[in-house]
Amino acid sequence: MRELREVYYVDGVRSAFGRAGPKGIFWRTRADDMAVKLVRELLRRNGSLPPERIDDVVFAATAQVGDQGLTLGRDVALLAGLPRTVPGFAVDRMCAGALTAITAGAGEIAMGAADVILAGGVEHMGRHPMLEDVDYNPRFVAERLIDPSAATMGQTAENLHDRFPQLTKDEADAYAVRSHHRLAEAWRNGVMRETVVPMAVHTDSGWREADGDEFLRPGTSLGAIRDLPTPFRAGGRVTAGNSAGLTDGATVSLLASGRAAEDLGLEPKLRLVSFSFAGVEPELMGIGPVPATRRVLEQAGLTLDEVDAFELNEPFAVQVLTWCDGMGVSPDDERLNPYGGAIACGHPLAATGVRLVAQIAYALRERPSARYGLTALCVGMGMGAALLWERV
C-alpha cells in the first residue's frame, strides 16, 4: 500500500493589495505580471532551489478571463522564465482559490507525483469585476435551487445578521476598527515587510512603487464608520466600514516534500496537517468556515483549544463573528487575526489564501510555545475552507 508523503510550506509572498478600479495602484498593471513578479521574488529568496526542480505551478483566479485567463499557472511559469519543462494549471474556488491551489499541489506531493510546487492566486478586480460575464443558469432561481441573495456577497452578510441577531452592527464595527489597528501595527513592526513584495508599477502620474495596502486606515474609529451607508439593504448593518474593499493583488507560496526540502537546503516553516472544504446554504455562505473547521479538527484528532493561532478571512466583520459564535471563540481572542485582516488590507478573492498562511507561519514562529495554526475562509455560493498547519 502506498504511503502518503508529508507536505511542507516553505515560504510565501504577496503583493501589496491595491484598490480596484482606475484610482487603484495596479490599474495599469496586468494580473499575470503581478504573479510573475512574485514568482521571481520567491525564487530569489530561496536561491538554493534550481528552477528546473519545480514540478508544477498552480495558480487560482476567480475571473479566469483576460489577463488572468489562459491556463494561468502555465502562463505565469513561462512569463517568469521557468524552464519550459515546468508545467502549470489554473484552479477556481472563488475566495478559496489560493488555498485550493495549495491543497491541489499538496496532493501531488503527497502522492509522490511532485517534490516542489508553486501555488498561489491572483485577482485583478479592477479589470475583472466580480460576476462580470457570468451567466447564471436560470434554473437556480426558477427552481429555487438557491436564494437570489446568494449571488451578492453583501446580501449574504446581511443574511447572517438576520439569522444570528445576537451579532450586532456595533460588534461588527468594533471588530473592523480592531482589524485596522492590528494591521497598522503589523506594518509598523515589520511583520508585513517579511511577506509583501514591493513592485514598480506604471500609473497615470508615472512610475511608482506599490509597497503598501491601499485600504489600510490606521486612524479608523467607531465614530468614523458608525453612520456609513448600508448599500446592500436599506437600514441594514453591512457597510464599507465593516467589509473588505474590492481589491487587486497576487500571492504565491512554495511547497515541498520533506526529502526535497532537505536535499535542496530549503527551510520549511509549516507542515500541512489536514484540510477540509464544506458546503452550506449559498445565501449563508459566511458560515462555511464553521463546518470546515470542525471537520479539519476531527481529521487531525485535535480540539480548537489546542490550536494556537487562527487566520480567518474577513470579507465582512459579521462573517468572522459568525465563526467566533459557532466555534466558541471570543472576537477579542489574541489568537485570532493578530495582524489584522481583509477589512484593513483588502480581499483579492483567489489570492487571499496564501496571505493567511504566511501570517500563520509568522504568528507561530513568534510564539515559542505555539504548535498548531488554522487558516480558514468562507467561499461564494455557500462553501467553507479550513487548513490546519503545524509549526516545523
Write the single-letter amino acid at 94. Answer: M
The rounded radius of gyration (Å) of the Cα atoms in the chain is 20
Instruction: Please give the Cα distance from 43 to 38 (Å, whole number).
Output: 9
Question: Three-state DSSP class for 201?
Answer: strand
Residues 6 or more apart in contact with residue 240 via CB below 8 angstroms:
225, 228, 229, 231
- In the residue annotation, 345 being an active-site residue is answered as no
**Cα→Cα distances 386→135, 154, 276, 289, 373, Å:** 29, 22, 5, 7, 10
Catalytic-residue membership of 95: yes
Which residue in 98, 215, 164, 213 sits closest to 319, CA to CA? 164
Q: What are phi and psi of 232, to 5 degrees?
A: -95, -10
Q: Give the separation between CA 312 and CA 208, rounded to whole angstroms.
A: 31
Assess whether 378 carries a catalytic annotation.
yes
The closest alpha carbon to 63, from 128, 143, 10, 113, belongs to 128
Q: Which cell goes with 203?
A: 500609473
Of 124, 128, 161, 378, which is the active-site residue? 378
DSSP 3: P
Strand partners, 9: 255, 270
For residue 84, which amino acid is it? R
Q: Which residue is catalytic, options 95, 128, 180, 324?
A: 95
Distance separating the N- and C-terminal Cα atoms of the chain: 27
Q: Which of 124, 161, 180, 347 is catalytic?
A: 347
d(CA 255, CA 98): 13
The DSSP symbol for 316 reads B
Q: 10: helix, coil or strand?
A: strand
SS3 28: coil
Give which of 289, 243, 284 is closest to 96, Cα–Cα: 289
Active-site residue list: 95, 347, 378
